[in-house]
Amino acid sequence: MEANVIVAQKKVGISLINFLIDKLKHTKIILIIDRNEKRFFNSVIKKININTYYINDEFEEEINFDGGYYFNWLLNIWGGHIFSEKFISNFKNTLNIHPSFLPFFRGRDPIVWAIVNDFYAGVTFHKISNNIDEGEIIFQKKINYNFPERGIDLYERVLNETIDFFMLKWDSIYNQNFKLKTQNPKKPQKIFKRKDLINHRTIDLDIQENNTIKKFLLKVLAYDFANKYSIIIKYKNKKYSLKLNIHNYE
């Protein structure tokens, strides 16, 4: 009998799990979830006989690969767990969902880095390898956006398009109706970590190198008098009104 392991977290994982258990209903499903999100998966777990494990340092060793099952897919449909080479070797096929147009913005927070670098967003389905987000590409899609789209708005749109794109492509994925594409960037791509986001999001106006930013912020504040009176930004032949919402962080 075929067995498939699904690692599911956050909005994408919660949204796709019912879709996948219907598509894989004639197989054995092993579900790996975040313990803190268990309540969101309870109805799924009760619906059919699913073996459930929690994402931790031990779950790879807890799964029995010697029970007579044929392990077909390892599906990481949202989550940051780094799988060991030994664990990956148990599966005929693997897939990870990454919310960027790989090879750009590997690692954490790719939607933030897309906006910061004035680059298109995207979603990529790729094979799981030993290196972070470097596996061969199965399917991917560019997601364009327009200035001044906020991070939260683009994030929600990418998540929704990821869900729709996965459902659209699933039959082709499962039936191997695709041609793998090797990631071959023109230059090595940075793998972002959460500490990169934390460091980048803080602007220290007390240091000289940020003096230009300080002057810009002061100019914006200086012209903020009323609803229809503010600094005006021109960008790509369009005009935008800009106001700041500044308050104590603590």
pLDDT tier for residue 92 given thresholds of 50, 70 and 90 = very high
**The pLDDT value given to residue 167:** 98
Q: Which pLDDT value is given to residue 42?
A: 86
Indicate the domain borders of the chain: 2-193, 203-242
| pLDDT, tens digit (0-9, with 9 covering 90-100), for 43-73 | 888 777 688 999 987 899 999 998 889 999 9
Fold held by 2-193 = Rossmann fold (3.40.50)
Mean pLDDT score across all residues of the chain: 93
Residue 187: pLDDT over 80 = no
Residue-level pLDDT at 207 = 95
* 238-246 average pLDDT score: 92
Q: Averaged over 111-123, what is the pLDDT? A: 97
Question: SS in 3 state form for the chain?
Answer: CEEEEEEECHHHHHHHHHHHHHHCCCCEEEEEECHHHHHHHHHHHHHCCCEEEECCCCHHHHCCCCCCCEEEEEEECCCCCCCCHHHHCCCCEEEEEECCCCCCCEECCHHHHHHHCCCCEEEEEECCCCCCCCCCEEEEEEECCCCCCCHHHHHHHHHHHHHHHHHHHHHHHHCCCCCCECCCCCCCCCEECHHHHHHHCCCCCCCHHHHHHHHHHHHHHHCCCECCECEEEEECCEEEEECCCCCCCC
pLDDT at position 185 over 80:
no
Residue 218 has pLDDT above 80, yes or no: yes
pLDDT-derived band at 153 (thresholds 50, 70, 90) equals: very high
For the residues 180-191, what does the mean pLDDT come to? 86
- Rounded to two decimals, the pTM is 0.92
Confidence of residue 227 (pLDDT cuts 50, 70, 90): confident
Q: Per-residue confidence at 188, pLDDT binned at 50, 70, 90?
A: confident
Does 49 or 92 have the greater pLDDT score? Answer: 92
Mean pLDDT of 129-142: 95
pLDDT given at position 2: 95
